Amino acid sequence: MSIWTDFLGAEIYFLETPGFGRVRIAEAGKGKKETLILMHGTAGHLETYAKNLMPLADDFHVIAYDFYGCGLSERRVTDFTPKLLADQLAVLMDVMGIDKAHLSGESLGGMVAAAFAVKHPQRVMRLMLNTTGGLPITTEKGRQEHQALCDLISKVSTAPPTYDSIHDRMKWLMHPSNWHLLDGELVESRLKIYTQPDAKLSGPAIAKFIIGLESFPIALEKIQAETMILWTRDNPINNVDDARVASTKIPRARLYVMEADGAHWPQYEAPEEFNRVTRDFFLNGLH
């Protein structure tokens, strides 16, 4: 099935924002009582949520967007940090007239969601940290996987991206049993984004962030919102034990480990389970 078949019914548009320029947005479920904002990972884009936005729009006003420096949003980025991107989220919510929302962030998106929740607790309803970054790397395997990611990011940011280099980068995101999902359209869409004329403007800043990932820890103890940490058995860099420890540091949190095979992209690898768990948590909270 095509990504854009998955997005049928959603509005895809650009919004000008003060300080952060053009932001690309996918939106569905307008008029629903509660808003859910979905945030992608490092060097990603809103297509990350192709299999989630419309199903979740049955119950929520759902927004996915490209971070500053990513996707088709403004690329003139000299700094790239979760704090800066949390500031972008605040501006975006202001422009869209959203006072408070549920937040779900994958990888870097989790770090941004957490940073926003600490700075603006009154604007966060419930929080999902999906295979989030920002946790201590505790194993040699995790350090090797972090280095592999740095190498892959460097490969696509210092040389002209190719189908093969993008394919290799995206294989890192998925469990081997799900590599069949890396069809031509998914890889080609990322290749098209990475070869836009202004794509190189944010490449060095993103690579610097990835290399210094451990310099941006999540302040778990300061998160006030009800929080679900959603993990996979085969997530790279941080394993289930790391996620379990993190869940004990947040005052109101629980860990959910996906039943389906998945690595760093459970929302795409196992969308039915992800959407079911996400819907239940944001509708009903911790139970």
Q: What is the mean pLDDT of residues 33-44?
A: 97
- φ/ψ region of 17 (left if φ > 0, alpha if ψ in -120 to 50, else beta) reads beta
Residue 74 has pLDDT above 80, yes or no: yes
Which residues lie closer than 8 Å to 287 by C-beta, 6 or more apart? Answer: none
Q: What is the mean pLDDT of residues 184-204?
A: 91
Q: How far apart are CA 12 and CA 197, in angstroms?
A: 21
Q: Residue 1: its pLDDT value, please?
A: 64
Q: What is the pLDDT of residues 134-165, one digit of tens each?
A: 999 999 999 999 999 998 887 776 678 899 99
Coil, helix or strand for 132? coil
Q: What is the pLDDT of residues 100-112, one digit of tens each?
A: 999 999 999 999 9
Q: What is the mean pLDDT of residues 69-80?
A: 93
Q: What is the pLDDT of residues 227-283, one digit of tens each?
A: 999 999 999 999 999 999 999 999 999 999 999 999 999 999 999 999 999 999 999
The phi, psi pair for 223, rounded to 5°, reads -80, 125
Our measurement of the distance from residue 269's CA atom to the centroid of its chain's CA atoms, rounded to an integer in Å, reads: 14
Of 73, 86, 9, nearest in space to 43 by CA: 73
Q: Residue 166: its pLDDT value, please?
A: 93
Coil, helix or strand for 45? coil
Exposure class string for 40-60: b at 16+ Cβ within 10 A, else e: bbbbbbbbbbbbbbbbbbebb
Determine if the pTM surpasses 0.75.
yes
Residue 210 has pLDDT above 70, yes or no: yes
Q: How far apart are CA 39 and CA 49, in angstroms?
A: 9
All domains in the chain, ordered by first residue: 3-284 (3.40.50.1820)
